[in-house]
Structure 1
Amino acid sequence: MQAKDPVGQFVHDALVADRSREEIRAALEQAGWFRDEIEDAIGQYATIDFKPPIPVPRPQPTARDVFIYAVLFTALTYTAIYLITLVHAILDLRMPDPADAPYIEFRATERMRWAIATLLVAAPVYLWMSRYVHQRVEKNARARRSPVRKYLTYIALFVSSMTFLGDATYLIYEFLQGTATLRFVLKAATVGIVTLGIFVFYLRDVEYLKGEK
């Protein structure tokens, strides 16, 4: 326990002095501490009747966790973006619009090549890292409590949900304007499917983490 944590130190000393958790909560509330601060401090110690009080495991970020999950979510980002790019390029080639500029076909071909090259690198890296993380979590209880994993998972949920909502909003706007072509609808559907898939996958991951507590 760190000396810079006065509430945690107080809870520790109070438990050693055989004060009940209810008494500790009441005293801290009367002193002006917020309820979430109080519960976080009390939650540092197990409810086992033992002296001195037993600290519960607290997740700690490590450089290894930062590296692993940064690579994982970067590969996920590249895979999602260039999968969408590939499908959009194919639609531009297969469903040309008479209003398209002459160079659209050339640009679509270039985007396809770049997207394929990126996917051949990013997708295997993402799949391999996902498998590695899953095995690591299954074998190591500490890995399940990684705060880096938690924060990046919620960032993935936020970004994917905001992208899906923006995509749906733009699709509805185009329909209301009467300018939604079949190609546009298919492009919007591609974005929606990819982002919704990411959201559902990592939402299940969050639920799994909750079940581990």
Structure 2
Amino acid sequence: MAAGTAELELFVRESLGRGMSREATAAALASAGWSPEQVRDALSAYAEVDFPVPVPKPRPYLSAREAFLYLVLFATLYLTAWHLGSLLFDLVNRAFPDPADPAYMWSAGARSMRWSVASLVIAFPVFVFVARHLSHELQRNPVKRLSAVRRWLTYLTLFLAATVLIGDLITLVYNLLGGELSVRFLLKVLVVAIIAGTVFGWYLVDLRREEKEA
């Protein structure tokens, strides 16, 4: 696979270097069986500038610092989402207590709320700080948007958010079919849907924007 990619890059470089247009190069590669994505990626590696030889675009590289920042960013995002949901669940439990065991719910809910508040007080500001820092770096150097660790963690986040949304809907339908819909249950379903949906929508729009700018 690596050898094939190297041959593709070599062909594109030589084709452009001999004055062939991008359209003609793409057509030749397509007729040879290369996929549109492979052709587009190979051609996008060279800038569309008026110069006798192909001018390569800068390529992103993975640094330990970059990996650290993105790992902190997404770890604090997950912590924030989890504990925000936990806190809202506890508030729902207090607003609509379980008549079967109100004393236990009150004591357990108080401990859970303390953990959630403590986590949000630390994790959310760290998330905002790191997100703003990385946003400024991307504005100064847009090529970093192609960072492999950034894209992998973004797609992982989309996968997790989509999984949570699907599970949330399955739980809703299951209880609906069983006739076990209560205000307390519906509020919890809504909490999960809003948190997971917000995360999914935000990062999906971000990826779509990158694809349009690419």
Same fold (TM over 0.5): yes
Pairing 1:71–2:72 present = yes
Tell me which residue corresponds to 2:108: 107
Match of 2:150 in 1: 149
Counterpart in the other structure of 2:84: 83
Question: Match for residue 13 of structure 2?
Answer: 12
In 2, Cα distance between equivalents of 1:16 and 1:204: 36
- 1:188 matches 2:189: yes
TM-score by length of 2: 0.83
1:97-176 correspondence to structure 2 within 5 Å: 97-100=98-101, 103-176=104-177
Unpaired runs of 5+ residues, structure 1, are none
Distance 2:115 2:7 in 1: 55
1:102 Cα deviation after fit: 5.5
Shift of the 124–212 alpha-carbon distance from structure 1 to 2, 3 Å rule, reads: same
| 1:100-159 per-position Cα deviation (integer Å, ceiling 9, x unaligned) | 486333222221111111111111111111222222222333333333323322322232
Aligned equivalents of 1:57, 1:139: Cα separation in 2: 14
After TM superposition, the structure 1 stretch with the greater mean CA deviation from structure 2, 93-102 or 187-196, is 93-102
Q: Specify whether residues 52 and 156 from structure 1 end up closer, same or farther in structure 2 by C-alpha distance, changes over 3 A only.
A: same
Runs (5+) with no aligned partner, structure 2: none
Q: Which runs of structure 2 are paired with 1:26-105 in the superposition (5 Å)?
A: 27-29=28-30, 31-100=32-101, 103-105=104-106
Q: What is the rounded CA distance, in whole Å, between the counterparts of 1:23 and 1:83 in structure 2?
A: 54
- Residue 186 of structure 1 and its aligned partner are, at CA, apart by 1.1
After TM superposition, give the deviation of residue 31 of structure 1 in Å: 4.8
Task: Please say if residues 70 and 149 of structure 2, whose CA atoms lie closer than 8 Å, have aligned partners that are also in contact.
Answer: yes
CA RMSD of aligned residues (A): 2.6
Cα deviation for residue 41 of structure 1 reads: 2.2
Equivalents in 2 of 1:15, 1:211: separation in Å?
24
Higher mean alpha-carbon deviation, 202-211 vs 178-187, is at 202-211
- Could you tell me which amino acid in structure 2 is paired with residue 48 of structure 1? V
TM-score using structure 1 length: 0.84
2:19 counterpart letter in structure 1: D
Q: Cα–Cα, structure 1 residues 26 and 94, in superposed 2: closer, same or farther, change >3 Å? A: closer
Once residues 32 and 162 of structure 1 are traced to their aligned partners in structure 2, the CA distance between those partners, rounded to angstroms, is: 35
